[in-house]
């Protein structure tokens, strides 16, 4: 195989209670990439459509992730990468992760899979480091593994795939305001109360249990964030309304996607997820903020070959 | 049914990463209680064998738990309670929880089960409040539900039963020194770093995932406590040695049971659990501290009727 065209899913990180550890891949929202072998050693971003992002390898998240892989490979050739961005940068649904994960997954395919998926996560994390200053794994892990994933530990890196209930749907709305991941990390406090910590790990346990037992009510009850949401939601106009109207429309739970400004809701079944999309959209229509809204199943396979 | 004799299991709370939320019931360690209907309204502790504990209803954890139930029952009669303590008070394996849970479970049986198990947990928590000043549920929930349980939330109370892998065994050693639950709570800090919090909820997610998927290695990797163990273990002589020798003997993980001083280890299979018991015992033999040691499967049914 000399060339590969792939779909790189958008991802929701944190998932309310699971700050920095939980993430999930969407099925119908994502970028496309074409990666091809070239004789000349190196990584070349030859095309970038849909977003205004740097083409230089060292300044592009896909480039940096690919270089991290190449540093551990003895392959003598190189790769050209074309990126067709459909996920907006800074939207909070893993735009940089899709590019980073796509680059290393595609190259690994073309090299006949020398690296396990867990190793690809490490390479892709270098793209995340470039994007946000922190090599977090909660978006790249679900992009690469598919479904829900838990980053149990960063040192050593330990990614745990979690079951994805089949009737669970996501609604994600992206109000078009800018919130940089690096800024939204800065406003977090370095200390939390033990009391809030206990609530948070109770909910993480509940969410993981709910995902394995496919207990939709339990999933909903566990989608509570006592630590990050109260602080970060201040940066997102309309957040409280979006959340309350989503729950009224039947969502199991609702929270900030990654570091925002996108807001996600989980629902049981597509019908409810569509109603939630309508309820969310009405809020931003009323306050005259442009938005994109998506309804999607969860992607359980991760990055997919398109041809 | 006028009288019931029951087995009330010992329990391990916290389970390393799950401070205040996780607990599990043991199969072969526990108290016995006899509860019988009497015409006179009220709760009467008529016998207490094996420990020097108050017989007055209002000062006895079983009495207080039973009174909490009676306050919500329209039953016109009363109950006599005999308690045969085998779990030592202050050992850290749920001595007060066994009595509190046993009292309300037994009475509920004799009344033809008017209350669901979740309600019994609430009543039993009143016994815990008397014992330690805090109405915690992480021992009474597994005593009543059996197996592993998660207290997802306290307000409202939400207990989630978690799968108990069949090859999992506990070794518990009780070094006979006194550590009061109230004292061991006092030394905890009221704030933790967000960084430690993230590690902790990563491990709670990992442990719950490992229990559901019966992934023994994952269970072991998740049995890490970044928050409470570093502080509380100082109160337990020999703790570091017990832990390192348990892991050397093949334990999956090792930590403080409840608020201590008991130390638990989980192992895959009874043989390893027995080796761990030997390794733990040797430590306390060498430093001349008396101890009890138990090896037990997990109890998946909770309190059991003996006759």
Question: Per residue in A11-39, pLDDT tens?
Answer: 999 999 999 999 999 998 999 999 999 99
Q: Residue A200 and residue B202: Cβ atoms within 8 Å?
A: no
pLDDT exceeds cutoff 80 at A296:
yes
The minimal CB distance from A192 to the residues B191, B204, B208 is found for B191
pLDDT computed for residue A170 by the predictor: 98
Catalytic site positions of B: 128, 181
3-state secondary structure of A114: coil
Q: What angle do CA B133, B138, B140 make, to 5 degrees?
A: 85
Contact call for A193 and B198, based on CB within 8 A: no
Q: What is the mean pLDDT of residues A147-167?
A: 97
Q: What radius of gyration, in Å, describes the C-alpha atoms of chain B?
A: 19
Segment B166-189 mean pLDDT: 86
Kindly report the number of other CB atoms within 10 A of residue A224's CB atom. Answer: 19
d(CA A259, CA A239): 13
Check whether A183 has a pLDDT greater than 90. Answer: no
Q: Is the pLDDT of residue B188 over 90?
A: no
B134 pLDDT tier (thresholds 50, 70, 90): confident
Contact A152 B17 (CB under 8 A): no
Give the pLDDT score at A106: 98
Q: How many other C-beta atoms are found inside a 10 Å radius of the C-beta of residue A231? A: 13
Hey, are the CB atoms on B195 and A190 less than 8 Å from each other?
Answer: yes
Percent of chain B with pLDDT over 90: 91
* Exposure string over B181-197, b if 16+ CB within 10 A, otherwise e: beebbeeeeeebbbebb
Phi, psi torsion values for A41, nearest 5 degrees: -60, 140
Is residue B181's pLDDT more than 70?
Answer: no
**Alpha-carbon gap, residue A107 to A72, rounded angstroms:** 13
* Cβ pair B209:A150 closer than 8 A: yes
Mean pLDDT in residue range B149-161: 97
DSSP state of A277: H
Q: What residues of chain A lie within 8 A of the CB of B213, using their CB?
A: 212
Tell me the C-alpha to C-alpha distance, in Å, between residue B196 and each of A25, A87, A255. 26, 32, 23
What is the structure's pLDDT at B132?
86
> Which candidate in B200, B205, B214, B228 is best for mutational testing of the A interface (most A CBs within 10 A)?
B205
pLDDT in tens, A189-225: 899 999 999 999 999 999 999 999 999 999 999 999 9
Q: DSSP class of residue A292?
A: E
Q: Quick one: pLDDT band at residue B152, thresholds 50, 70, 90?
A: very high
Q: How buried is residue B287: exposed, middle or buried, by Cβ count under 10 Å (0-12/13-18/19+)?
A: exposed
The CATH number fitting domain A168-296, selected from 3.50.50.60, 1.10.10.10, 3.30.70.890, 2.40.37.20: 3.30.70.890
What share of chain B in percent tops pLDDT 70?
99
Q: Nearest by CB to A152, which of B190, B192, B202?
A: B202
Query: Helix B61-70 and helix B95-110: axis angle, to 10°?
Result: 30
Cβ-contact A183, A134 below 8 angstroms: no
Q: In three state form, how does the secondary structure of chain B look?
A: CCEEEEEEEEEEECCCCCCCCEEEEEEEEEEEEEEEEECCCEEEEEEEECCCCCCCHHHCHHHHHHHHHHCCCCCCCEEEEEEECCCCCCCCCCHHHHHHHHHHHHHHHHCCCCCCHHHHHHHHHHHHHHHHCCCCCCCHHHHHHCCEEEEEEECCEEEEEECCCCCEEEEEEEECCCCCHHHHHHCCCCEEEHHHHHHHHHHHHHHHHHHHHCCHHHHHHHCCCCCCHHHHHHHCCCHHHHHHHHHHCCCCEEEECCCCCCEEEEEECHHHHHHHHHHHHHHHHHCCCCEEEEEECECCCCCEECC
Task: Sort out which chain A residues have CB atoms less than 8 A from B189's CB and list them.
Answer: 194
The interaxial angle of helices B239-248 and B270-286, nearest 10 deg, is 150
A181 near A91, Cβ under 8 Å?
A: no
| pLDDT over 80 (residue A100) | yes
pLDDT at B182 over 80: no
Average pLDDT over residues B280-302: 96
Share of chain A above pLDDT 90, in %: 91
Q: How confident is residue A181, by pLDDT bands cut at 50, 70 and 90?
A: low
Residues with Cβ < 8 Å from B98, sequence gap 6 or more?
B8, B9, B10, B11, B30, B31, B87, B139, B143
**pLDDT digit string, tens, across residues B210-268:** 999 999 999 999 999 999 999 999 999 999 999 999 999 999 999 999 999 999 999 99
Residue A170: closest CA among A240, A254, A74, A61: A254
Domain parsing of chain A, residue ranges: 3-162, 168-296
- CB-based contact B13:B94 (threshold 8 Å): yes
What's the distance, CA A112 to chain centroid?
26
pTM: 0.96
Burial call B73-102: b when 16+ CB within 10 Å, e when fewer? eeeeebbbbbbebbbbbbbbbbbbbbbbbb
Residues of chain A neighbouring B197 (CB-CB closer than 8 A): 192, 197, 200-201, 227
Options 3.30.230.10, 1.10.3470.10, 3.40.50.920, 3.40.50.150; which CATH number does A3-162 get?
3.30.230.10
What CA–CA distance (Å, rounded) separates A90 from A261? 8
Distance CA A25, CA A141 (A): 9
Confidence band for A186, pLDDT divided at 50, 70 and 90? confident
Query: Model confidence at A179, in pLDDT bands (50, 70, 90)?
Result: confident
Exposure letters B257-279 (e unless 16+ CB within 10 A, then b) = bbbbbbbbbbbbeeebbbbbbeb
Query: Mean pLDDT, chain B, as a whole number?
Result: 96
| Inter-chain touch A197–B193, beta carbons under 8 Å | no
Q: How far apart are CA B152 and CA B208, in angstroms?
A: 12
Q: Residue A193 phi/psi, 5° resolution?
A: -80, 150
For residue B18, list chain A residues with Cβ-Cβ distance below 8 A. 201, 205
């Amino acid at each position: 195989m000399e060339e590969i065209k792939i779909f790189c899913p958008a991802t929701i990180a944190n998932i309310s209670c699971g700050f920095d550890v939980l993430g999930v891949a969407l099925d119908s929202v994502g970028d496309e990439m074409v990666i091809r072998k070239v004789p000349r050693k190196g990584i070349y971003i030859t095309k970038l459509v849909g977003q205004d992002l740097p083409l230089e390898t060292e300044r592009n998240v896909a480039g940096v992730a690919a270089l991290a892989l190449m540093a551990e490979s003895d392959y003598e050739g190189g790769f050209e990468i074309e990126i067709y961005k459909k996920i907006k940068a800074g939207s909070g649904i893993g735009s940089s992760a899709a590019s980073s994960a796509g680059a290393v997954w595609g190259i690994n395919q073309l090299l006949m899979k020398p690296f396990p998926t867990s190793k690809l996560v490490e390479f892709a994390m270098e793209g995340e480091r470039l994007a946000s200053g922190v090599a977090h794994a909660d978006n790249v892990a679900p992009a690469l593994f598919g479904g829900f994933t838990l980053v149990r530990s960063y040192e050593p890196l330990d990614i745990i795939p979690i079951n994805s209930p089949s009737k669970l749907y996501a609604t994600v709305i992206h109000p078009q305001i800018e919130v940089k991941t690096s800024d939204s990390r800065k406003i977090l406090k370095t200390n939390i109360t033990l009391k809030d910590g206990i609530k948070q790990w109770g909910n993480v346990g509940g969410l993981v249990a709910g995902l394995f037992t496919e207990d939709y009510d339990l999933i909903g009850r566990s989608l509570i964030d006592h630590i990050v949401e109260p602080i970060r939601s201040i940066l997102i106009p309309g957040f409280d309304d979006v959340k309350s109207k989503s729950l009224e429309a039947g969502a199991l739970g609702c929270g900030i996607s990654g570091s925002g400004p996108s807001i996600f809701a989980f629902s049981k079944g597509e019908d409810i997820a569509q109603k939630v999309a309508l309820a969310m959209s009405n809020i931003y229509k009323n306050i005259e903020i442009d938005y994109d809204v998506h309804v999607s199943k969860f992607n359980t396979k991760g990055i997919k070959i398109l041809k």
